[in-house]
């Protein structure tokens, strides 16, 4: 299935990497703020709240930095959406926020991959056309 191939473009600043990285970092901040809320809502579970939240936020940021290493960090980012959604156990609003971030990350990652593929195709066509042109500076 070609649609599930998330191998990133060779572009240093491709749309896929930029969109996915931005969403993951913003999501890490949201997880941290959800921990602050859970700290007050569930005082008996503060150790679990902070451990889970800070670990999730840290892994989200680390995953953001790994996106240039191939397709697996994009899949890891999709898997990391689950602990974010499960923060809804302590902060009810995170059920909705987590699902929205998961949808946003999935859409942005796959759409960014499509956009990078289209840009790569256009670039290849332009470079091929330039290679076929006679060198006008030689005359």
| Span 4-19, pLDDT tens digits | 777 777 777 889 999 9
Nearest to 10 by CA among 108, 137, 121: 121
pTM of the model: 0.85
**DSSP code for 42:** -
Structure confidence at residue 3 (pLDDT): 62
Distances (CA, A) of 51 to 46, 65, 97, 110: 8, 21, 20, 31
Give the model confidence (pLDDT) of 75-106 as tens digits: 999 999 999 999 998 899 999 999 999 999 99
- Sign of the C-alpha dihedral computed for residues 104, 110, 111 and 112 taken in this order: positive
**DSSP code for 27:** H
Average pLDDT over residues 68-73: 90
Q: Match 């005359």 to its residue by tokens.
A: 139
**CB atoms closer than 10 angstroms to residue 103:** 11
**DSSP code for 67:** G
Q: Match 């940021």 to its residue by tokens.
A: 61
Structure confidence at residue 32 (pLDDT): 96
Q: Match 């840009």 to its residue by tokens.
A: 119
Average pLDDT over residues 58-79: 94
pLDDT of 138 higher than 60: no
- Sign of the C-alpha dihedral computed for residues 58, 11, 72 and 74 taken in this order: positive
Structure confidence at residue 42 (pLDDT): 83
Structure confidence at residue 1 (pLDDT): 46
Extents of the domains making up the chain: 13-132
Question: What's the start-to-end Cα distance of the chain, in Å?
Answer: 50
């Amino acid at each position: 299935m070609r649609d599930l191939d998330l191998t990133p473009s060779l572009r240093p600043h491709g749309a896929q990497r930029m969109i996915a990285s931005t969403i993951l970092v913003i999501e890490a901040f949201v997880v941290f703020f959800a921990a602050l809320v859970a700290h007050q809502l569930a005082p008996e579970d503060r150790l679990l709240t902070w451990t889970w939240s800070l670990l999730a936020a840290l892994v989200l940021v680390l995953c953001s930095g790994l996106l240039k290493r191939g397709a697996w960090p994009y899949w890891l980012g999709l898997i990391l959406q689950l602990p974010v959604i499960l923060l809804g156990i302590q902060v009810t609003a995170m059920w909705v926020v987590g699902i929205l971030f998961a949808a946003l990350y999935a859409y942005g990652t796959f759409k960014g991959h499509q956009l990078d593929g289209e840009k790569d195709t256009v670039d290849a066509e332009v470079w091929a056309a330039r290679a076929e042109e006679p060198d006008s500076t030689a005359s």
